[in-house]
Amino acid sequence: MRPRPRHAAAVRLFCFPYAGGGAAIYRAWPDGLPSTIEVCAVALPGRGGRLGEAPFRDLSALVETLSDALLPGLDRPFAFFGHSMGALVAFELARLLRRQHRPNPAHLFVSGRAAPQLRRASSTIHHLPREGFLEGLRLLNGTPPEVLGNAELLDVALPALHADFTACAEYVYAPDAPLACPISAFGGEEDPEVAEEDVGEWRDQTVRAFSMRIFSGDHFFLRSAEREVLAAVAVPLRAMATS
């Protein structure tokens, strides 16, 4: 999904949503980025305009599908941005593209996610009955209250949320060579899920430059600090567009 198509853009930024999220998360991003950047928000099945499609419950299967689906758009320099589950998807997609000898991202932005090699306990709320799962979502503060308080909206949103949490919880990291693109890792000061030191461990996943920024906010600082996040993303993208 291209919120604002820019056919002459020098660089494409593919953006991957957090668990349960859709392409609409990134609809305002073109306003905060240079006109030389085209934002491509990845619309996953099971939400938004693809509500009638079954969501992926396996992260590897999702990444395999993405590598084919996005290939036509990889015909110019591009970068990946992912928040939370999206960071994991972006990272594994970059590694798969490398194995397939396909075009690789020139920059990887990972946000709101601990480095994948860390042996941290993943959320297991997908195993809980409905009320327990909903309480876990409330604690994460990512699902709008108007959704959590509306039974009809919940029935629509829960399949994708449950599938995404299952995919993340059952993800198994496989050691591989670090990526050959720079990585920028972002975290939230009050994030109860991801500690600052865990964000810093992304440095081991690249042989190129690594940078880290911690923003004010909880796990969803992507929304509360959107302007600051976009300013940080714009710096390397602007350099890519002029190189």
Q: Are 14 and 24 in contact (CB under 8 A)?
A: no
Q: Are 210 and 180 in contact (CB under 8 A)?
A: no
Residue count of the chain, please give it.
243
Tell me which residues are annotated as active site: 84
User: What's the CA gap between 1 and 41, in Å, rounded?
Assistant: 5
Tell the residue number behind the tokens 């039974």, with chain if given.
151
Q: Which two tokens stand for residue 70?
A: 């996005």
Nearest to 47 by CA among 167, 153, 166: 153
- List Cα–Cα distances, 138 to 125, 148, 168, in angstroms: 11, 8, 18
